[in-house]
Amino acid sequence: MLVIDGLEASYGRIAALRGISLEVDKGEFVSVIGPNGAGKSTLMHAVMGVIKPSAGSISFDGVSLLGRSPEWIVRRGIALVPEGRHIFGSLTVLENLELGATPRPRGDDFGGELEHVYRLFPILHERRHQTASKLSGGEQQQLAIARALLSRPSLLLLDEPSLGLAPFVVDIVVDVLLRLHEEGITILLVEQNAALAVDVADRTYVMRNGQIEISGSRETLLALEDFERRYLGFVDEARV
């Protein structure tokens, strides 16, 4: 579904991505882990057309994404839940959700899908007429995911969804992602919380300094000598 090959990107003279190659097959749950500064968010921004790579290719269902606008990419079927959520605090929860449906054809009825996200995140239904700025951090993260789902994506990208959340809220978010995966949505998850990401994903890529160091399934990676010490030592390993 998503094929990235030899991707390079820089901020001025600073190389952020150094020949990144990865693939996400339809129906997979794939994670990318690594410390701060590894290039994970840059990778997501490149896929969404927010930054222009200097080399390499990105294709989605066989169609190149290079040079495409973020709006075109969303309409093609990719949605990003960005780091920091970026919800509209002055709008109500419902208005934020309605904005998520704007890439869809005019007149398209999304009432059924709205009810679906309310079932996934009951707190959003309870607070649908409340301004989003009054939500807690965990509730705002749920809103950001729900808003992305209303664009009807076939590929959902998530950039650090557990960042700054209480453990019980992280569990809620992870449970929803696993349910969405079971429903057929393909997921690419970027996480600094390596233990969590390795635990939930079908496959994981490990990034450092803008490069892929290693990749594999949970079983393959955890069987490697020193993998936990080298790559999971900077996070809570309770989920592994």
What phi and psi values does residue 43 have, to the nearest 5 degrees? -60, -45
In sequence order, the β-bridge partners of residue 149 are none
| Model confidence pLDDT, tens digit, residues 177-236 | 999 999 999 999 999 888 899 999 999 999 999 999 999 999 999 888 888 777 765 444
Q: Residue 43: its pLDDT value, please?
A: 96
Q: How far is CA 219 from CA 59, 103, 204, 223, in A?
A: 28, 39, 10, 6
pTM, two decimals, is 0.89
Rounded CA-CA distance 43/106 in Å is: 31
Sign of CA dihedral 201, 207, 212, 218: negative
Q: 121 exposed, middle or buried (CB, 10 Å; 0-12, 13-18, 19+)? A: buried
- For the chain, percent of residues with pLDDT exceeding 70: 94
Question: CATH: 3.40.640.10, 3.20.20.70, 1.10.10.10, 3.40.50.300. Which one for 1-77+155-233?
Answer: 3.40.50.300
Rounded CA-CA distance 38/207 in Å is: 6
Under 8 Å between Cβ of 183 and 196:
no
Mean pLDDT in residue range 55-79 = 96
Residue 85 in this model has a pLDDT that exceeds 50: yes
DSSP string, 102-125: TTSPTT---HHHHHHHHHH-HHHH
Locate the domains of the chain by residue range: 1-77+155-233, 87-152
Least confident of 32-41, 55-64, 113-122, 222-231: 222-231
Under 8 Å between Cβ of 128 and 142:
no
Q: Residue 239: its pLDDT value, please?
A: 38
**What does the block give as tokens for 199?**
């635990």
Bridge-based pairing state of the strands 203-208 and 29-33: parallel
Q: Residue 240: its pLDDT value, please?
A: 34
